[in-house]
Amino acid sequence: MTISVIRTFILYIAVMLGLRLMGKRQIGELQPSELVITIMFGNLAAVPMQETGIPLINGIAPIITLVFIEVMLSAISLKSKRFRRFISGSPSIIIRRGEIDLKELRRLRMSMDDVMEALRSKDIVNIDDVETAILDTDGEICIVPKAAKRPLTPEDLALSPKEEEMPYTIISDGRIITDNLNKINKSEKWLMGEIKKKKLAIPDVLLANYTRDGKLCFKKKENNN
């Protein structure tokens, strides 16, 4: 029993490290080669996990090999556009200037139901409102509405709003994030002073963000007792 737990833990770490080396992506955003390798990871890890008689290296070595292959393919893809198209394919325009490309749909083996479902997912119910639709290599359909159907932007109204910047989280769940404090050139002494002004203590703070304009915003923990 103990051996099975240890083997499972080691294989879990190996698979997680392999996926981390492949980069941060959601399952729906994986390229074909990445999806194949992800599926193979699970199969390779499952066999030595269930069969304790199989050496652990028999599961880890293929995982390392697959990671190496994926890293090499990614490196080559960055340098060769032709190779990248061979591995990942290329985007396909299925609606151009408001006209549906039926030939392209047949090549992709897509039905009009598939297209309409993609439009509805983008809050578009009328296909006549679409100027361009592109099927990306990850299977996601990018929709460009016609100019008259696009939402207004500040630029359309000749406005110049301030650029927003992500705030720095300096306290999360009662813990000070020192790295972010250093990025805003503030000390823990300054932070403690600000907290005392709010008549709080560090453990009482669920979240504290420091905004671009120098504002410190606190979110207090709720007392459920």
pLDDT at 146 over 80: yes
4, 31, 182 from 88: Cα distances, Å = 38, 6, 41
Provide the 8-state DSSP code for 198.
T
Q: What pLDDT is stored for residue 200 in this prediction?
A: 85
Q: What pLDDT is stored for residue 131 in this prediction?
A: 92
| Span 96-117, average pLDDT | 88
From 86, 108, 135, the end of a domain falls on: 86
**Domain holding 142: CATH number?**
3.30.240.20
49 and 102 share a domain?
A: no
Domain assignment present for 163: no
Residue 95: CB atoms within 10 A of its CB come to: 22
Residue-averaged pLDDT of the chain = 81
Q: Which domain holds residue 12?
A: 2-86
Q: What pLDDT is stored for residue 23 in this prediction?
A: 61
In angstroms, the CA 190 to CA 201 distance is: 13
30 and 65 share a domain?
A: yes
124 and 79 share a domain?
A: no
Domain assignment present for 25: yes
The total domain count for the chain is 3
25 and 51 share a domain?
A: yes
| Cβ atoms 73, 87 nearer than 8 A | yes
What is the end-to-end Cα distance of the chain in Å, rounded? Answer: 40
Closest CA to 89 of 132, 31, 34: 31
Domain assignment present for 157: no
From 54, 86, 118, the end of a domain falls on: 86
| Cβ atoms 129, 144 nearer than 8 A | no
Domain assignment present for 160: no
Higher pLDDT, 206 or 46: 206
59 and 134 share a domain?
A: no
pLDDT at 27 over 60: no
Structure tokens at 44: 């390779």
pLDDT at 47 over 80: no
Q: How confident is the model at residue 55 (pLDDT cuts 50, 70, 90)?
A: confident
pLDDT digits (tens, 9 = 90+) for 192-224: 998 888 888 888 888 999 987 888 888 888 764
Higher pLDDT, 212 or 95: 95
From 66, 86, 106, the end of a domain falls on: 86
Domain assignment present for 208: yes
In angstroms, the CA 120 to CA 216 distance is: 40
% of the chain residues with pLDDT over 70: 90
106 and 78 share a domain?
A: no
Domain assignment present for 154: no
3-state secondary structure the chain: CHHHHHHHHHHHHHHHHHHHHHCCCCHHHCCHHHHHHHHHHHHHHHHHHHCCCCCCHHHHHHHHHHHHHHHHHHHHHHHCHHHHHHHHCCCEEEEECCEECHHHHHHHCCCHHHHHHHHHHCCCCCHHHEEEEEECCCCCEEEEECHHHCCCCCCCCCCCCCCCCCCEEEEECCEECHHHHHHCCCCHHHHHHHHHHCCCCHHHEEEEEECCCCCEEEEECCCCC
